[in-house]
């Protein structure tokens, strides 16, 4: 559905990877861009609604576990001995095995409203909490999935639901651990959820579906083939090569590294989105690029969990497709994700403006923002590639009164947006040409979040 006001005028807008001035933005049928006119003369933009500041396209959050918003800030204390990803995972399971559908909806609605205010206009929900607290299937297999759909609809954000296949606890395991009982699923069950959600969501384009495979350790080869063949036209996501132990276990079981095995055994294509991939080799990245697969990077979570640093210069230097996600939601800011992404490279390589040089771009912020923007369509399976005819009309309006932007020259605006903190704010966020605000008040969502947190942790 198109917006009531179908024509906007922006004093500046990010078009084709650069700032353009005096831009007319026209929203057509089904909430997609019908016309983008930089340098629009006053008579051309007559009658258009003026926007209060520069415009950036909305970004896709390519990887989310919404329920983990309930543990943000609650896993930062260490008991005796070493602490690592696997100990964090055990603590995360304590939330996974407590949260009800009602609590999940409250947590997700609050989270999604945070993401929307930050300028994310679509979120890819990697969803594996399928069963009841006792591990038995709900009477309605979509119980938890529809809680996420309702949360997205209440917040106003677009949603790509990714029901996730999870069948075993490790490469050599026969099944799941007791604390993974809620994750149990089959190829048929996740495909049925994806198809049902896509059907029930209607044709407004705000909610869509793909499928996910939790990881190579959690699924077998036959099931991967079955899901990939059935998921025609859908994005496919998988956690891959996140931790060194996972790589070692894969080599012990299959004689190959995870991405090597995937390239050898599975017919990858542009539907595939590999999440994290922090443990990679140049040869693996070259193979993935040849398959036109994409990478989803989650810098704040990868730092929080000690995963490692993805070889972004190697990937960007090959013109590889990538997007960003906030994963466990230690932060809900795309600016912080991009800043961490660049800073991790600088710390590792002891150089500056690493991604800019790899992408043959003068501005680090431009290289980062444009990379995340262009990869978002592959992650979401929706036309979300920016301010261009045919793409969904998603955008955010920069608040030029933000302290980080005061006095910044116009041609350095994006640099300051990414690298000057605290983050600049956005006065308005639009999805499909319409300003999106949460149903009800922010106070109501916060009250529901507080209630859910009390129930979970008191």
Name the band, by pLDDT with cuts 50, 70 and 90, for residue 149. Answer: very high
Name the band, by pLDDT with cuts 50, 70 and 90, for residue 441. Answer: low
**pTM across the whole model:** 0.97
Residue 129 backbone class (left: φ over 0; alpha: ψ -120 to 50; beta: rest): beta
The number of C-alpha atoms within 13 Å of 168 and in the hemisphere containing its C-beta is 13
The H or E element containing residue 294 is strand 294-297
Alpha helices in 231-281 (DSSP H): 244-254, 258-265
Catalytic residue among 127, 130, 237, 276: 276
Does 327 participate in catalysis according to the annotation?
A: yes
Name the band, by pLDDT with cuts 50, 70 and 90, for residue 3. Answer: very low
Q: What is the pLDDT of residue 440?
A: 62
Evaluate if residue 243 carries a pLDDT over 90: yes
The H or E element containing residue 398 is strand 395-398
Q: What is the pLDDT of residue 82?
A: 80
Evaluate if residue 203 carries a pLDDT over 70: no
pLDDT average, residue stretch 419-438: 93
Angle between helices 187-201 and 143-155 (to 10 degrees): 30
Ramachandran angles phi, psi of 238, nearest 5°: -155, 135
- Pairing relationship of beta strands 272-276 and 59-64 according to DSSP bridges: unpaired
Name the band, by pLDDT with cuts 50, 70 and 90, for residue 439. Answer: low
Q: 307-348 pLDDT, tens per residue? A: 999 999 999 999 999 999 999 999 999 999 999 999 999 999
Q: 89-112 pLDDT, tens per residue? A: 988 999 999 999 999 999 999 999
The H or E element containing residue 95 is helix 85-96
Closest C-alpha among 418, 426, 420 to residue 404: 420
Domains (range + CATH), the chain:
7-57+388-435 (2.30.40.10), 59-380 (3.20.20.140)
Cα–Cα dist 73/403, whole Å: 26
Does 84 participate in catalysis according to the annotation?
A: no
Q: What is the pLDDT of residue 402?
A: 97
Name the band, by pLDDT with cuts 50, 70 and 90, for residue 200. Answer: confident
Evaluate if residue 238 carries a pLDDT over 70: yes
Catalytic residue among 63, 65, 130, 327: 327
């Amino acid at each position: 559905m198109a917006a009531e006001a179908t024509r906007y005028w922006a004093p500046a807008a990010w078009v084709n990877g650069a700032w353009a001035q005096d831009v007319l933005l026209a929203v057509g049928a089904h909430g997609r861009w019908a016309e983008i006119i930089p340098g629009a003369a006053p008579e051309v933009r007559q009658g258009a609604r003026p926007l209060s500041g520069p415009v950036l396209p909305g970004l896709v959050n390519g990887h989310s576990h919404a329920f983990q918003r309930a543990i943000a800030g609650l896993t930062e204390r260490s008991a005796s001995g070493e602490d690592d990803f696997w100990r964090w995972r055990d603590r995360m399971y304590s939330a996974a095995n407590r949260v009800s559908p009602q609590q999940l909806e409250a947590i997700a609605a609050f989270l999604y409203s945070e993401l929307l205010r930050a300028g994310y206009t679509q979120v890819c929900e990697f969803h594996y909490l399928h069963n009841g607290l006792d591990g038995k299937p709900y009477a309605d297999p979509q119980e938890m999935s529809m809680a996420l759909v309702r949360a997205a609809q209440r917040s106003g954000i677009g949603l790509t639901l990714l029901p996730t296949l999870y069948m075993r606890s490790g490469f050599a395991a026969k099944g799941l651990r007791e604390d993974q009982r809620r994750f149990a699923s089959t190829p048929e069950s996740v495909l049925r959820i994806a198809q049902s959600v896509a059907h029930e969501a209607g044709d407004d384009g705000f909610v869509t579906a793909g499928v996910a495979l939790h990881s190579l350790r959690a699924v077998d080869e036959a099931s991967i083939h079955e899901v990939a063949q059935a998921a025609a036209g859908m994005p496919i996501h998988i956690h891959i090569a996140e931790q060194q132990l996972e790589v070692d276990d894969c080599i012990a079981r299959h004689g190959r590294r995870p991405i090597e095995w995937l390239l050898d055994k599975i017919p990858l294509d542009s539907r595939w989105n590999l999440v994290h991939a922090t443990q990679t080799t140049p040869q693996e990245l070259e193979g993935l690029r040849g398959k036109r697969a994409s990478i989803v990077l989650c810098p704040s979570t990868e730092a929080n969990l000690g995963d490692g640093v993805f070889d972004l210069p190697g990937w960007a230097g090959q013109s590889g497709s990538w997007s960003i996600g906030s994963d466990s939601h230690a932060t809900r800011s795309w600016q912080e994700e991009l800043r961490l992404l660049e800073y991790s490279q600088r710390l590792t390589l002891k150089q500056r403006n690493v991604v800019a040089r790899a992408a043959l771009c003068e501005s680090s912020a431009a290289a980062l923002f444009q990379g995340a923007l262009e990869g978002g369509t592959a992650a979401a399976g929706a036309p979300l590639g920016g301010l261009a005819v045919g793409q969904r009309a998603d955008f955010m309006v920069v608040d030029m009164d933000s302290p980080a932007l005061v006095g910044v020259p116009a041609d350095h605006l994006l640099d300051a947006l990414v690298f000057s903190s605290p983050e600049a704010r956005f006065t308005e966020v639009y999805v499909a040409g319409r300003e999106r605000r949460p149903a009800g008040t922010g106070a109501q969502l916060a009250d529901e979040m507080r209630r859910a947190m009390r129930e979970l942790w008191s």
